[in-house]
């Protein structure tokens, strides 16, 4: 079961969209004057054809107000005095392990963007090869020539991220996972978000689906995916409509597309190597760093123009495992947070209560509708959360200590 993924430029007259015999729906990415303004999933019958009129109607309903918003932003930008501060330099770090094909795909999408510079003073790309089993990644980078290569023998994503932090030279440090490709507006989007909020400590960006080829990919996106919307969001110290803020750090963005003020990361002591360790505890490191940035008093800015396309898990088994790691990583992160930041104790306890109630609610919701795959995802996440809550963070710290001793 796949969805057809189509991109439309709304300044041009809409054309009919025909689904293939295997397509059960449509994923529609909309641009206005080349700028991303919306993404919608629409369930349809296989082989269905949306005529131009239906596409127009859909676009007006779903994206029309965002187009007017984009025009107002342009109008306000005209009236704004020119931005004076000198642009920063940027290091783009890609942490990867044994996936040279995906890495090459990402680097190919990065090349024209980096060559253009996007408004930054200088841009370098740094590939961190994390405990590789062979030389394919190094060879791929050397073939291209322009990215820097660095090896981190200690296995674990946050070891690799800290290696990037120590090897980077840019004022800003952006991270990309190897399973994404960047949008052509990615770099200028990050620059725009920096120019609007230069005092921010971190920036996160839009994550759209790279493909909707399998049932797992469609289900992940229908369940919310990584989507955080098409409006810039500035996350400050408090949030009126979120009583548990900033404890549930999932609202900030995703680790596959994030950037920071490098000096702030160094001040904060970098990433927590006991999180995002790969196999036993593959998650929570991004939540942890977002949380610490916001708690340091610096805003975190979500910018939709700073966009990537993420290749979601292809099989239902992989997806179920991902939800399990989300539960595990989130709870390990929460346990750590409760230990290190006790001033937010009431909100942390509130989050525990909210999280378990939400999971149980999701299980009941799915059971009632006999959506057992969905129930499986929720149970996996719930079980991951239980394991994460009962000592996983400490177990992971012990494992990481051993890794450091070996190295």
Nearest approach, Cβ of 358 to another protein (angstroms)? 7
Q: Give the residue with the Cβ less far from another protein, 106 or 249.
A: 249
Position 402 contacts another protein (CB under 8 A): no
Q: Provide the strand spans (E) within 10-147.
A: 17-18, 23-32, 35-43, 49-50, 89-96, 122-130
The one segment of 41-49, 65-73, 313-321, 370-378 that binds another protein by CB under 8 A: 65-73
Q: Give the residue with the Cβ less far from another protein, 197 or 210.
A: 197
Position 75 contacts another protein (CB under 8 A): yes
Q: Show the tokens assigned to 166.
A: 């120590």
x/- letters, 15..44, toward another protein (CB under 8 A): -----------------x------------
The residue within the footprint of another protein, chosen from 49, 121, 234, 390 (CB under 8 A), is 234
SS3 content of the chain, % helix, strand, coil (to 5): 45, 20, 30
The residue within the footprint of another protein, chosen from 73, 101, 142, 317 (CB under 8 A), is 73
Q: Are strands 122-130 and 148-152 parallel, antiparallel or unpaired?
A: parallel
Position 237 contacts another protein (CB under 8 A): yes
The one segment of 68-76, 272-280, 319-327, 330-338 that binds another protein by CB under 8 A: 68-76
Query: Nearest 5°: phi and psi at 7?
Result: -110, 135
Q: Show the tokens assigned to 367.
A: 């059971």
Q: Give the residue with the Cβ less far from another protein, 75 or 405.
A: 75
Nearest approach, Cβ of 3 to another protein (angstroms)? 23
C-alpha 381/C-alpha 327 separation (Å) is 5
How far is residue 6 CA from its own chain's centroid? 21
C-alpha 100/C-alpha 97 separation (Å) is 8
Nearest approach, Cβ of 299 to another protein (angstroms)? 10
Residue pair 40/7 in contact (Cβ under 8 Å)? The answer is no
Position 68 contacts another protein (CB under 8 A): yes
Position 238 contacts another protein (CB under 8 A): yes
C-alpha 136/C-alpha 151 separation (Å) is 12
Nearest approach, Cβ of 191 to another protein (angstroms)? 16
Query: Nearest 5°: phi and psi at 323?
Result: -65, -35
Enter the DSSP assignment of 81.
P
Residue pair 355/244 in contact (Cβ under 8 Å)? The answer is no
Position 51 contacts another protein (CB under 8 A): no
The residue within the footprint of another protein, chosen from 119, 167, 227, 350 (CB under 8 A), is 350
Angle between helices 285-295 and 316-340 (to 10 degrees): 40
The residue within the footprint of another protein, chosen from 43, 61, 108, 223 (CB under 8 A), is 61
Q: Show the tokens assigned to 398.
A: 């012990």
Nearest CA among 253, 105, 95 for reference residue 176: 95
Residues that bind another protein (CB under 8 A): 10-11, 14, 32, 56-57, 59-61, 64-69, 71-73, 75-76, 79, 196-197, 231-232, 234, 236-240, 243, 350, 353-354, 357-358, 361
């Amino acid at each position: 079961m796949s969805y057809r993924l189509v991109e439309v430029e709304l300044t041009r007259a809409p054309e009919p969209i025909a689904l293939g015999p295997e397509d059960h729906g449509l994923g529609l990415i909309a641009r206005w004057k080349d700028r991303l303004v919306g993404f919608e999933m629409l369930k349809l019958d296989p082989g269905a054809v949306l005529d131009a009129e239906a596409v127009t109607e859909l676009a007006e309903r779903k994206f029309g107000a965002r187009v007017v918003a984009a025009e107002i932003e342009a109008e306000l930008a005209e009236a704004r005095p020119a931005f004076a501060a000198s642009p920063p330099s940027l290091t783009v770090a890609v942490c990867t392990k044994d996936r040279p094909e995906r890495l090459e795909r990402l680097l190919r999408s990065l090349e024209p963007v980096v060559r253009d510079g996007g408004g930054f003073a200088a841009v370098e790309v740094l590939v961190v090869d994390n405990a590789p089993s062979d030389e394919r990644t190094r060879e791929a980078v050397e073939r291209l020539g322009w990215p820097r290569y660095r090896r981190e023998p200690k296995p674990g994503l946050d070891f690799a991220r800290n290696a990037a932090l120590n090897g980077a030279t840019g004022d800003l440090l952006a991270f990309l996972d190897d399973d994404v490709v960047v949008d052509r507006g990615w770099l200028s989007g990050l620059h725009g978000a920096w120019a609007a909020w230069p005092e921010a400590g971190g920036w996160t960006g839009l994550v759209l689906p790279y493909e909707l080829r399998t049932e797992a990919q469609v289900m992940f996106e229908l369940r919310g995916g990584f989507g955080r919307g098409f409006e810039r969001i500035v996350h400050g110290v408090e949030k009126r409509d979120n009583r548990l803020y900033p404890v549930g750090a999932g609202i900030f963005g995703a680790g596959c597309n994030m950037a920071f003020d490098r000096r702030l990361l160094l001040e904060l002591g970098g990433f927590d190597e006991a999180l995002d360790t790969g196999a036993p505890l593959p998650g929570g490191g991004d939540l942890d760093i977002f949380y610490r940035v916001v708690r340091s008093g610096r805003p975190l800015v979500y910018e939709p123009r700073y966009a990537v396309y993420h290749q979601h898990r292809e099989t239902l088994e992989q997806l179920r495992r991902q939800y399990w790691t989300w539960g595990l990583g989130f709870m390990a992160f929460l346990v750590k947070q409760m230990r290190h930041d006790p001033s937010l104790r009431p909100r942390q306890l509130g989050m525990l209560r909210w999280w378990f109630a939400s999971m149980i609610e999701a299980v009941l919701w799915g059971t009632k509708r006999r959506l057992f795959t969905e129930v499986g995802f929720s149970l996996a996440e719930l079980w991951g959360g239980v394991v994460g809550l009962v000592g996983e963070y400490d177990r992971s710290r012990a494992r990481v200590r051993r890794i450091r001793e070996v190295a």
